[in-house]
Structures are given as C-alpha cells and as structure tokens.
Amino acid sequence: MKQFIWFVSGVAIVFIVVSINSALYTVNEVEQVIITQFGKPVGEPVIDAGIKLKLPFIQQVNSIEKRVLEWEGTPSDMPTKDKLYISVSLFARWQVIDPLQYFLRLGDERSAQSRLDDIFGSETRNAVAKHELIEIIRTSKNRQPLRDTLLTDAEKAQDIGSLVPIHKGRLLVEQDIYNAAAEKVKVFGIELLDIRFKRINYNESVRPKIYERMISERLQIAERFLSEGKGEAARIHGNRERDLNKIQSEAYRKVEEIRGLADAKATKIYADAYNQNAQSVAFYAFTRSLQTYELAISENTTLLLSTDSELFQYLQHTQVNKKQTQ
C-alpha cells in the first residue's frame, strides 16, 4: 500500500511538471504568436515578448515572424507595349501586421511566399504590358545625361548624346506595381513595404537580334565619325601640301636670287680679272677653249671644223708647231 501511494505521488508530480511545462511558452522579440485550440484560433494574438500561459495539451502555439521579410521572384518573360519580350525579376520587402488574418488566410510563410508570387507576378506583367521598354529601363524622365565637352555647337544641335524623351520612367512603373499589389496583399494581413526591379534583360530568343541591331547602330555612328575624321585629315593634308609648296617656292626663289647675285658677282670678278690687258683677255679665251675641248671631245670623238672656227685656231697652231719641230 505504501509503495502504491509513492507511485501515485510520483505520477502526479510528473503530470504536474509536464502540465506546467506545456502551459508555459516563450514569445521572442522577433515573433508574434497565435494560440489555437483544436485548430481554431482563440483569443487575441500575442505580440509582447515574455513568458506566457496557455491551456496545457489542448492549445498549440503558432509563431509568426514580426521582422521585415524578403520576397524574391524568379525571372519571368513578359511582353512590353512595343512588343519586345523581356525577362524581368523583382524583389520586395513585406511584413505581417495582422497576424490573426495572416494565419487564417495563409497559415505559414511558405503559403505566403507562394501567394505573393502570384500577386506580384500578375501586377508586374500588367505594368510592363502598359509601357514601352525605354520607360522601364530609364530611371526617371528628369535624368540629364553627361555630354562631352568637346562637342561642337553643330553636333550639339544634332542632339548627339541626348536621351529619348519618356513620360514616366522605371521609378513610376515600380510605384504603379506597388500601389496595385499593396491593396491586394492587405487582405492577408500583410503590409508591402517596397518592391523593385532587380534585373531586366532581353528574352534569350531575341537577344542576339537586339545585340546585332545595337552593334549596327554603333557601327553607323563609328562610320560617321570615321568619315568626319577622314575629311578632317584630308583638309589638314591639303593645308600641309599647300604650305609645303609655298615654303619650297619661296626657298627656291630665294636660292635663285642668291645664285643670281653670286653669278653676277663672279662675272664681275672674272671681268675685272681678265680685262686688265690684252694678254689677260687672250689667256681667258685660251682657258675657256680648253674647257670646251674637255667637255666636247672624248677618245672616240670626230670633229668637223671650218678653218675659221675659233676652236680650230688652237688646233691649227698645235699642228704648225709639230711640223716646225719635225
């Protein structure tokens, strides 16, 4: 009998300890709790941190995140207003503000993420279909591009380096998605804090054609600049040739002037030297004749001269001297 009493007492103590342990639960700072009884919520959500009490065994604790959560969508292909297929991926931040409604409509975070996929994907598709690609790519319509300071006034007048005008821009498109999606997720006890485009890319099937068109446009611009460069080079080359010819002409004229003055001075010196007396004149005539012989007569040269030729007179004297010697 005594052993039975000890056994019953032990069982009671264990039951009390287990009951107390089951009745007590802890709420962290980063979570909020919904208490359910037989699968149905009872009471108000517990949002304050600390040690709390519940009915043991029949009531269950369901924890829900209080912190800001992230959602990241998978890339999805969708058409723009100008019929271009692009691959779009987004990310968003959201928070549970009504845990009871969240628990009743969704249950857990996995279900919430799945539902957000449907809502955000649908609203993004609708927004992208209403705008052209340039509206989605460009940040805002007030963006001013940096322009090269070396551009001439004529090039600036051609709007080189300017941006295509837009009406909204990516920020306003994101705002449209946010406004539409925020209303839809509110019924689930969720507050949408932010949603942004993470990446926008061309569809794989059209990407090569887009790149070819971009390359073609850049090549056209490069050809235009190359043509202008060749024209400028031809102009510079022409100016160089003109300046070179002018310099050479002036130099040649200067050389001829100097040479003429030198020849005139040399002639004057020769005249002064050989006109001093008759012997000087005869010696000059003799030396000039010898120079003429050297230039005109070679080893196999045959000359036909008249007896009264000035060239013949010295040859004649040579022949007479040879005969007298013999």
Give CA–CA dist 243/206, Å, rounded: 55
| 115-151 pLDDT per residue, tens | 999 999 999 999 998 888 888 887 766 666 556 665 5
Residue 92: strand, helix, or coil? strand
Give CA–CA dist 171/15, Å, rounded: 61
pLDDT of residue 166: 72
pLDDT of residue 191: 93
Structure token digits, residue 326: 């013999």
From first to last of the 326 residues of the chain, give the pLDDT tens digit.
666 666 666 666 766 666 666 677 788 888 888 888 887 888 888 888 888 777 787 878 888 888 899 999 888 888 888 888 888 999 999 999 998 888 888 888 889 999 999 999 999 999 998 888 888 887 766 666 556 665 566 655 655 555 666 777 888 888 999 999 999 999 999 999 999 998 888 877 777 877 887 788 788 888 888 888 888 899 898 899 999 999 999 999 999 999 988 888 887 887 777 677 777 777 777 777 777 777 777 777 776 767 666 666 666 655 444 444 44
pLDDT of residue 307: 67
pLDDT of residue 147: 60
Residue 133's CB is within 10 A of a number of other CB atoms, namely 19
| 175-228 pLDDT per residue, tens | 999 999 999 999 999 999 999 998 888 877 777 877 887 788 788 888 888 888
At how many degrees (to 10) do helices 278-296 and 310-325 cross? 90
Look up the CATH superfamily of 69-145+155-205: Band 7 domain (3.30.479.30)
Residue 234's CB is within 10 A of a number of other CB atoms, namely 10
- Decide: 32 and 66 in contact? Cβ < 8 Å: yes
pLDDT of residue 179: 93
Give CA–CA dist 68/50, Å, rounded: 21
Residue 112's CB is within 10 A of a number of other CB atoms, namely 23
pLDDT of residue 91: 92
Residue count of the chain, please give it.
326
Domain spans of the chain, in order of start? 2-65, 69-145+155-205, 208-274, 280-326
Residue 86's CB is within 10 A of a number of other CB atoms, namely 21
| Alpha-carbon torsion (170, 204, 129, 177), positive or negative | negative
